[in-house]
Amino acid sequence: MSDFRTESDSMGQVQIPADKLWGAQTQRSLEHFSIGNDLIPREMITAYAILKRCAAAANRAEGRLPDEAHDLITRVCDEILAGQHHDMFPLHVWMTGSGTQFNMNVNEVISNRCCQLAGTPLGSKSPVHPNDHVNMSQSSNDSFPSAMNIAAAIGLQRRLIPAVTALRDAIAAKAEEWREIVKIGRTHMQDATPLTLGQEWSGYAGMLTEGLERIDDALKGVYRLALGGTAVGTGINTAMGFAEAVAAEIAKQSGLPFVSAPNKFTVQGAHDALVQLPARCARLRSRSTRSPMISDCCRAGRAPVLPNCTSRKTNPVPRSCRGRSIRRRSRR
């Protein structure tokens, strides 16, 4: 058995390592865009597997995709969703700005894995063709932005929101526990009037609650998918009703309220819903940075501010540190 096999695309033949499931276009991207260490985020593999599975379901329902191809694509997507084949997605972030090479990476891997399952040679593109079947009714230009939205929404719903909510709840529990402890409040890092430790921490919990509300607002736009717009938003080469059908399938598969975007030109020309996401996260971050920084200051040892709290396993603050004399120095 040779270490390489030959596959071809519209530009000619390409040599591909024999044990890899990707095809000619992925190999070309690897050769021309192996830049740095950043790979396309793994979250996009999962998002694309959901997308391709749902596109196959919508295409079969319309009678466009043969049952055999549908069944094989579904099976391979389920394998990917179960964590298999992730090493077959080697492409780097610094590629074409449309993400086309990654879409083709997905199409080629699914096609070749279908070949393996069907007992046909890798690269034969039969019984499942990367473009004609896996990419049916789609273009990179509508599938990549849709996969971005799916990846972002899943990340927020399954990962970020639960983590921030748990942190908020833990802080709120401390606020409740400490609601009677009177401490000295500080402004300009100097003594001001008293408040309770519970009041102070309830403020931190509230900042996180507001951050979560902003993320929730931002998600509305992320649920609008570009699929069905194909190359420039007109929907050429896609069937009537595909956009709505595939969005409904993705909503069902992911359990998240995805819909077809009312205007495909809008969501292919710009990704404003995604643009505001990290800003919302950053806002959340600037909020939650406050609490650690403040608690950091307040538990500093001999340093300028106040050892109000200790965390687990931390040392008691030296007795010699008299707050008042320190404050007097800092005032002058």
**What residues numbered 269-288 form the site for other proteins, per CB under 8 A?**
269-272, 274-275, 277-279, 281-282, 284-286, 288
Rounded Cα distance between 74 and 108, Å, is: 15
Kindly state whether residue 29 participates in binding other proteins, applying the rule CB under 8 A. no
Which CB, 110 or 208, lies closer to other proteins? 208
Q: Which residue reads 């080469």 in tokens?
A: 237
Are 301 and 315 a contacting pair, CB within 8 Å? yes
Name the amino acid, one letter, at 271: H
Kindly state whether residue 5 participates in binding other proteins, applying the rule CB under 8 A. no
Residue 101 CA to its chain's centroid (Å):
19
Q: Please give the backbone phi and psi of residue 94, each rounded to the nearest 5 degrees, phi first.
A: -85, 70
Q: Shortest approach of other proteins to residue 118 CB, angstroms? A: 32
Which CB, 60 or 174, lies closer to other proteins? 174
Largest CA-CA distance found in the chain, in angstroms, rounded: 83
Rounded Cα distance between 81 and 68, Å, is: 20
Q: Shortest approach of other proteins to residue 63 CB, angstroms? A: 30
Rounded Cα distance between 182 and 200, Å, is: 10
Rounded Cα distance between 139 and 155, Å, is: 24
Q: Shortest approach of other proteins to residue 268 CB, angstroms? A: 6
Instruction: Give residues 171-210 in contact with other proteins (rule: CB under 8 A).
Output: 171, 174, 178, 181-184, 191-197, 199
Kindly state whether residue 52 participates in binding other proteins, applying the rule CB under 8 A. no
Instruction: Give residues 220-259 in contact with other proteins (rule: CB under 8 A).
Output: 232-233
Which CB, 105 or 253, lies closer to other proteins? 105
Which CB, 6 or 314, lies closer to other proteins? 314
Beta bridge partners of 14: 7
Instruction: Give residues 137-156 in contact with other proteins (rule: CB under 8 A).
Output: 141, 144-145, 148, 151-152, 155-156
Quickly list H helices, 10-136: 24-32, 42-61, 67-81, 100-118
Which CB, 161 or 248, lies closer to other proteins? 161
Hey, is 168 helix, strand or coil?
helix
Q: Shortest approach of other proteins to residue 216 CB, angstroms? A: 14
What is the pattern of x (binds other proteins, CB under 8 A) and - over residues 61-100? --------------------------------xxxxxxx-
Q: Which residue reads 């959340």 in tokens?
A: 284
Kindly state whether residue 35 participates in binding other proteins, applying the rule CB under 8 A. no
